[in-house]
């Protein structure tokens, strides 16, 4: 038989890094949770899609921040753009109302991000260390887009209460809480944003 040219081997895609796998698992869990929870609350298909997208982004952020103390920018960006799209769809009865809703969502994101940035800088000046990361500031922007400043305040309160409980349990188990220990606040705030948004959609049931 004549010599045959060896076929080039197909290069298999590189295995996903643990961080990427973790985020995808979180996104899948959040998307599924939204697909189940939203219809149970009486959501229409658009609302269910919004709940799934927000759930995917927030759960991916929570999974990553819980283990690496890092809020991934790509999921924050997805949440921001999806939130602006949802604001436009929800207020799409007429063009003027749509633009007003999107502008209101942008303002909510800016106010919440600014509040977290001021809190971050104030804490640093008082204690000499960062109490919040810039990822938390970006997450606040996403939360403000979806919830407005008033709804975001509820999410922050819920996340803070959960954080106090986590710190208390860890302190009891370890015999105290050291000053250099860190708490992944984004892992608590992200699902709180999702839950707070779902709770705002009570009008679904009456639609």
pLDDT at 173: 77
pLDDT at 180: 60
For residue 11, the 8-state DSSP code is P
Number of H helices, E strands in the chain: 7, 0
pLDDT at 168: 84
pLDDT at 2: 44
pLDDT at 166: 84
pLDDT at 17: 75
Angle between helices 73-90 and 45-68 (to 10 degrees): 160
Interacting residues of 87 by C-beta distance below 8 A, sequence separation 6+: 101, 102, 104, 105, 145
pLDDT at 97: 85
pLDDT at 4: 46
In whole angstroms, give the CA distance from residue 162 to residue 173: 17
CA–CA distances in Å: residue 187 to residues 82, 171, 172, 206: 20, 19, 21, 32
Q: What is the mean pLDDT of each run of 10 residues along the chain (207 residues)?
A: 47 63 93 95 92 98 92 97 93 80 96 96 83 92 97 96 87 69 88 96 60
pLDDT at 162: 94
* Region at 21 (left for phi over 0; alpha for psi -120 to 50; beta for the rest): alpha
Q: What is the CA radius of gyration of the chain?
A: 21
Q: 134 near 121, Cβ under 8 Å?
A: no
């Amino acid at each position: 038989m004549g010599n045959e040219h060896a076929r080039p081997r197909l290069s298999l895609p590189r295995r996903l890094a643990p961080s990427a796998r973790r985020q995808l698992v979180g996104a899948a869990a959040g998307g599924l949770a939204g697909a189940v929870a939203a219809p149970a609350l009486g959501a229409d298909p658009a609302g269910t899609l919004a709940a799934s997208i927000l759930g995917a982004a927030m759960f991916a952020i929570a999974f990553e921040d819980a283990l690496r103390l890092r809020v991934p920018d790509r999921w924050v960006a997805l949440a921001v753009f999806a939130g602006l799209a949802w604001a436009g769809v929800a207020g799409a009865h007429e063009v003027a109302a749509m633009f007003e809703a999107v502008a209101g969502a942008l303002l909510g994101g800016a106010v919440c991000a600014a509040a977290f940035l001021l809190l971050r800088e104030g804490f640093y000046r008082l204690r000499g260390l960062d109490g919040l990361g810039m990822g938390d500031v970006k997450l606040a922007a996403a939360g403000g887009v979806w919830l407005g400043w008033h709804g975001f305040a509820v999410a922050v309160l819920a996340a803070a209460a959960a954080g106090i409980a986590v710190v208390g349990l860890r302190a009891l188990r370890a015999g105290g809480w050291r000053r250099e220990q860190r708490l992944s606040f984004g892992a608590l705030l992200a699902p709180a944003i999702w839950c707070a948004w779902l709770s705002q959609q009570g009008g679904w049931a009456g639609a």
